[in-house]
Amino acid sequence: MIVIGMDVGTTRSKVAAMDETGRPQIVLNRRGDPFTPSVIYFEDGRTPIVGAEALAEGFLHPEYVHSCFKRALGSPDGLHTDASGKSYTATGFTQILITDLKQDVEARFNEEVDEAVFTVPANFQDHKKQAMIDAAGAAGIKVVKLVHEPTAAGIAYALQKKRDFRFVVFDLGGGTLDVSILEAAGSEITVLSTTGREKLGGEDFNARIERLVVEQFAKETGYEPTVESDAMFFQELADKAERAKIHLSQKTATKIVAGCQGRQAIVEITRDQFESLTSDLLQDALGCTTQAVEEASLSWTDLDSIILVGGSVRMPAVQSALADLSSIVPHCDIEPDRAVCYGAAQMCAMEFAKQGKAIMIGGRAIPTPQAFVQEVTAYGVGCCVADKDGALRNAVILSKGTSIPTTKTDRFSLLHEDQTEARIEILQGGEGQAYDECLSIGEIVLTNLPVEHKKSKRIEVTYAIDANGMIRATGKDLVGGEQVEIRIDYSKGTTSSKPGRDAA
Ligand code: AMP
């Protein structure tokens, strides 16, 4: 039996499996590497190749190389059309990547993988979570559970420490930032708050270096490369910027040699310069951290430690800024690149144990990690209501930070007493937030409503949120009795259109 946690990252993906001693271990891929670049190259524009080979072989054909597609997960947009006319979305790419990771595990253990725990950023919107489940399913793996990345890292850390404490998980990876506050007490691990940015990670720091190099190149050579005519220049620059950034975590200066259209420039970048170019990104991350502490109704003195997770925490500025903010020296007691994946494999063992499965590895039963994990929602979810002055806003039913799984209900009045139809538009966002600032994630329509002048608050809206954070919504007319339930259909991506909202 293989007990697997999969961390499908924006820039790198990792898999961990429980070993016969009951500990998680990284599963090396078929190249022998612990990490697989989340990159796909379509050889001849048709045959997908994944990982380090994709990076190496795709160098000459940047138009067939795809990376960072996790950021577009759940979008219906086609990102590649192959030679046979088949179109691939980010979910399709993720399926290809997961299939490759599955083959790595199967090659190592000589056993089929058909179930695993997958990790997702805590601030991932629901349609992206659904897309991850769909991609795994299409790759032949049933998602036992989706676990938020910082929660997974927190599980790995709490199980290692085996004592009561409160801590911050600061998770800055290739594409996303998650900050969660957790409490470990006995065998209970409770997420007290979670916040973050869906688009803040190492890639954004690289982009600042790339921009600087392009500007310097133009200044020195008189030619400004463009993505349209110099695709290979940008492909190489992405690689050089990544290396330069990593050098700057060790050294105080580095150089990039850039060549394009027969011209060359050598751009020197100091660590100070890099830190000032990216200071707004770091400030944003610190702002999220402060917010997470506040949303947990705590102050820094209530917290025992900060654990650093994700490859980007290796930037010295991140570590020193967090120490300055909190007066706590952050640490990497668990390998920042592996903690999420370890926790996912441990979660998989716990889920199997819950299902009553004896976990047999190498012919003997392994000890199951003992923990009960209480997760919270990363978003508020409500429905669209109209103010007296007609302005549309979000009336939150499930507040951000609510422990899950849970069910919440609220009642609303019709806008006009003689309405015979009500549209309940489900919004992701904060209480009272303007409609345009919220994300519309679904709609329930109640029809043939009997006209009843006396009854206010007749439309009942219920949201049930499962352990993966996925929502089931029900709308009910308390007068006529009509009830409509939807499991939000994420297959078309989120709705940004604004249908008639004459509703509750
Ligand atoms: P992860 O999503 O945890 O795999 O993190 C990947 C990100 O970590 C990428 O953006 C890498 O560039 C970044 N990273 C890895 N090592 C370092 C380092 N030594 N210094 C700065 N960033 C790093």
Q: What is the pLDDT of residue 494?
A: 37
| pLDDT class of 493 with cuts at 50, 70, 90 | very low
Statement: residue 54 has pLDDT above 90: yes
Q: How many CB atoms lie within 10 A of CB 496?
A: 7
Is residue 430 in a domain?
A: yes
Q: Is the CB of 271 under 6 A from ligand 1?
A: no
Find the 346 Cα to ligand 1 centroid distance in Å. Answer: 23
| One domain for residues 400 and 290 | no
| One domain for residues 403 and 492 | yes
| One domain for residues 55 and 156 | yes
> What's the pTM?
0.91
pLDDT tens digits, one per residue of 63-100: 899 999 999 999 999 998 888 888 999 999 999 999 99
Express as a percent the part of the chain with pLDDT over 90.
80
Report residue 431: phi and psi, to 5°: -65, 130
Is residue 397 in a domain?
A: yes
- Residue 456, both tokens: 């206010």
Q: What is the pLDDT of residue 498?
A: 31
Q: How many CB atoms lie within 10 A of CB 474?
A: 17
Nearest CA to ligand 1 atom 14: 311
Q: What is the pLDDT of residue 489?
A: 52
Report residue 293: phi and psi, to 5°: -65, -45
- Residue 273, both tokens: 């310069």
| One domain for residues 325 and 449 | no
Find the 39 Cα to ligand 1 centroid distance in Å. Answer: 15
Find the 114 Cα to ligand 1 centroid distance in Å. Answer: 29
Is residue 335 in a domain?
A: yes
Closest CA to 1 of 363, 367, 342, 370: 363
Q: What is the pLDDT of residue 214?
A: 98
| Mean pLDDT over each residue of the chain, to the nearest integer | 92
| One domain for residues 382 and 290 | no
| One domain for residues 72 and 160 | yes
pLDDT tens digits, one per residue of 224-260: 999 999 999 999 999 999 999 999 999 999 999 999 9
The domain of 179 spans: 4-200+282-375
| One domain for residues 58 and 160 | yes
| One domain for residues 386 and 368 | no
Find the 367 Cα to ligand 1 centroid distance in Å. Answer: 33
- Boundary (domain end) residue, out of 354, 375, 396: 375
Q: Is the CB of 150 under 6 A from ligand 1?
A: no
Report residue 113: phi and psi, to 5°: -105, 115
Answer left, alpha or beta for residue 362, where phi above 0 means left and psi between -120 and 50 means alpha: left
Q: Is the CB of 5 under 6 A from ligand 1?
A: no
Statement: residue 359 has pLDDT above 90: no
| One domain for residues 467 and 326 | no
Find the 43 Cα to ligand 1 centroid distance in Å. Answer: 27
pLDDT tens digits, one per residue of 104-123: 999 999 999 999 999 999 98
CATH number, domain at 297? 3.30.420.40
- Boundary (domain end) residue, out of 375, 403, 436: 375
For residues 466-480, give the mean pLDDT.
90
Find the 152 Cα to ligand 1 centroid distance in Å. Answer: 18
- Boundary (domain end) residue, out of 375, 390, 422: 375
| Secondary structure tally for the chain: helices H, strands E | 10, 29
Widest pairwise Cα distance in the chain: 79
Name the one residue in this structure whose structure tokens are 């990490």. Answer: 35
Q: Is the CB of 7 under 6 A from ligand 1?
A: no
DSSP 124-161: --HHHHHHHHHHHHHTT-EEEEEEEHHHHHHHHHHHHH
Closest ligand 1 atom, CA of 201? 10
| One domain for residues 40 and 169 | yes
Q: What is the pLDDT of residue 502?
A: 36
Is residue 208 in a domain?
A: no
Rounded CA-CA distance 3/396 in Å is 38
Closest CA to 293 of 284, 285, 303, 283: 303
| One domain for residues 39 and 125 | yes
Nearest CA to ligand 1 atom 16: 311
> How many domains in the chain?
2
Q: What is the pLDDT of residue 441?
A: 87
Q: Is the CB of 332 under 6 A from ligand 1?
A: no
Closest CA to 329 of 368, 371, 300: 300
Query: What are the angstrom distances between the C-alpha of 48 and each of 38, 40, 138, 256, 281?
Result: 12, 6, 16, 31, 34
For residues 316-324, give the mean pLDDT.
98
CATH number, domain at 431? 2.60.34.10
| One domain for residues 403 and 486 | yes
Peptide bond into 367 cis (omega under 30): no
Rounded CA-CA distance 398/344 in Å is 26
- Partners of 87 in the beta sheet? 81
